[in-house]
Amino acid sequence: MLHRPPIGAFGVSVATNDVSRTRRMSRRAVLTGAFAVAAAGQPLTNFGAMAQVGSAGNASIATGVKPPTPWLTLAPAGTLTRIGVGSCLDQRHPQPIWRAVLAARPQLFLMIGDNVYGDVKAPELAELKAAYHQQGRHPEFAKVRGALPFLAVWDDHDFGLNDGGRDFRYAGAAKALFHEFWQTRPEREVGVHSAEIFGPPGRRVQIILLDTRSFRSALKPKTSAFAHWGRYEPDPDPGKTVLGSEQWAWLESELGKPADIRLLASSIQVLAEGHGFERWGNLPAERDRLLGLIDRSRARGLVLLSGDRHSGALYRSKTPGGRLLVEMTTSSLNRSYGPSKDARVPPLVGEPYHPENFGLVDIDWSARTIQISLRAMDGGEVGRQSMTFADLGHGP
């Protein structure tokens, strides 16, 4: 049984600890101490973990999209038992799903792409700036920002170009906007990929957020030879890439760090078949490389998270080395497109869920189990997969 704190303001409990403002590190989530949440001059909010407001971030960025109130941040010392996940949040639409998210009381929420819709038409990036400005002031999003810590990575519509990749000419300027909005410090010249580890030894959760935009090669347009609906078909060219050499080296290093559970977030689907939209299967040599790296690194407790598709789904497969690999696609938070036309083929588990949805990752450290579940607008469960730690490579 997972412990949940009693409900207080914003559907969470209120603590009275005093936590000082700390300097924002390379990522918003890097803080010290036990978990606590605070906004300057406001009472702390306890999620069964503690988080804290960070400082202003990179002062060199001044593009006018910084939200009017600070983000909450999550310290590394406490134990995570519930993490929320979502994607595809249109700033122009109502966002009622946040009520269910708050009621579920995750300790952290991962935004894994299309966090705004701001495809750009000119170097000034007016559309993307306006999208961030509106999102930061959206009343429903403002309420959840005041109650939950977030970590984020982008997909194409917050990158600035639908289905965009490394050839997008305004990627550098879009990256500056990303960091200003999320109040994170740029760690590298190209890319917004990042990773964090939370929890003590024996209960460490590593969160890896992949950048599937900044380095990705051009995709191959679909021909009549490809049976499924969509825009693209698999391209066997081994010279093409999803992550790029620098990010591949970084990922291998991250998978070598000690962790008990690893949430590997890719804005686009990894395991999915049955459609010709964006997915790792469009560059099959790159997907093979990823699955091979998971085998070679012996990274235990790994679960895949993805978004993008405007439809939630669950997947279950095995690596070439025979290791169980599960994936949860959560999409969208407020931009449903109607029933999925994806072919019902393995490794899909059950039916896709096209209405608005979000995901939860629940970790029971005592029972040594992990559950991933898709949740509907009202918070009800519409799909789940449950695994033991042993299923994911740990010993009994």
Confidence grade of residue 6 (pLDDT, cut at 50, 70, 90) = very low
Helix, strand or coil, per DSSP, at residue 132: helix
- What confidence tens digit (pLDDT) does each residue in 236-267 have? 999 999 999 999 999 999 999 999 999 999 99
**Cα 253 to Cα 182, 200, 218, distances in angstroms:** 25, 20, 26
Position 60 scores a pLDDT of 34
- What confidence tens digit (pLDDT) does each residue in 171-227 have? 999 999 999 999 999 999 999 999 999 999 999 999 999 999 999 999 999 999 999
Q: Rounded to a whole number, what is the largest CA-CA distance in the chain?
A: 63
Domain range summary for the chain, segments of one domain joined by +: 9-392
Least confident piece of the model among 7-11, 152-156, 263-267: 7-11
Contact yes or no for 255/243 (Cβ under 8 A): no
pLDDT-above-90 percentage for the chain: 82
Confidence grade of residue 170 (pLDDT, cut at 50, 70, 90) = very high
Which has more confidence, 60 or 93? 93
d(CA 362, CA 197): 16
Q: Is the pLDDT of residue 107 over 60?
A: yes
- Give, as one character, the DSSP assignment of residue 70: P
Residues 6+ apart with CB under 8 A from 94: 140, 334
Give the number of other Cβ atoms within 10 Å of residue 366's Cβ: 8
Position 396 scores a pLDDT of 72
Contact yes or no for 302/262 (Cβ under 8 A): yes
Q: Is 13 exposed, middle or buried (0-12, 13-18, 19+ CB in 10 A)?
A: middle
pLDDT-above-70 percentage for the chain: 84
Q: Is the pLDDT of residue 20 over 70?
A: no
Q: Is the pLDDT of residue 349 over 70?
A: yes
- What region, left, alpha or beta, does residue 239 occupy, with left being phi > 0 and alpha being psi -120 to 50 degrees? alpha
d(CA 64, CA 73): 21
CATH of domain 9-392: 3.60.21.70
- What confidence tens digit (pLDDT) does each residue in 78-100 have? 899 999 999 999 999 999 999 99
Confidence grade of residue 63 (pLDDT, cut at 50, 70, 90) = low
Position 52 scores a pLDDT of 33
Confidence grade of residue 329 (pLDDT, cut at 50, 70, 90) = very high
Q: Is the pLDDT of residue 374 over 70?
A: yes
Contact yes or no for 187/194 (Cβ under 8 A): yes
- Give, as one character, the DSSP assignment of residue 11: G
Q: Is the pLDDT of residue 22 over 80?
A: no
Position 322 scores a pLDDT of 96
Position 64 scores a pLDDT of 77
Minimal CA–CA distance to 25: which of 182, 184, 141, 179? Answer: 184
Confidence grade of residue 378 (pLDDT, cut at 50, 70, 90) = very high
Q: Is 122 exposed, middle or buried (0-12, 13-18, 19+ CB in 10 A)?
A: exposed
- What confidence tens digit (pLDDT) does each residue in 23-54 have? 233 344 333 223 333 333 332 233 333 333 33
Instruction: Report the relative pairing of strands 232-233 and 220-221 from DSSP bridges.
Output: antiparallel
Q: Is the pLDDT of residue 275 over 60?
A: yes
d(CA 291, CA 44): 42
Contacts of 276-279 with C-beta under 8 Å, sequence gap 24+, read 276/222, 276/226, 276/228, 276/229, 276/230, 276/231, 276/232, 276/233, 277/230, 277/231, 277/232, 277/308, 277/309, 278/156, 278/163, 278/219, 278/232, 278/308
- Give, as one character, the DSSP assignment of residue 296: H
Minimal CA–CA distance to 208: which of 88, 348, 128, 306? Answer: 306
Instruction: Report the relative pairing of strands 205-209 and 194-198 from DSSP bridges.
Output: antiparallel
Position 256 scores a pLDDT of 97
How much is the average pLDDT of 328-355? 96
d(CA 25, CA 183): 10
Mean pLDDT score across all residues of the chain: 86
Query: Residue 26 has which token pair?
Result: 């390379």
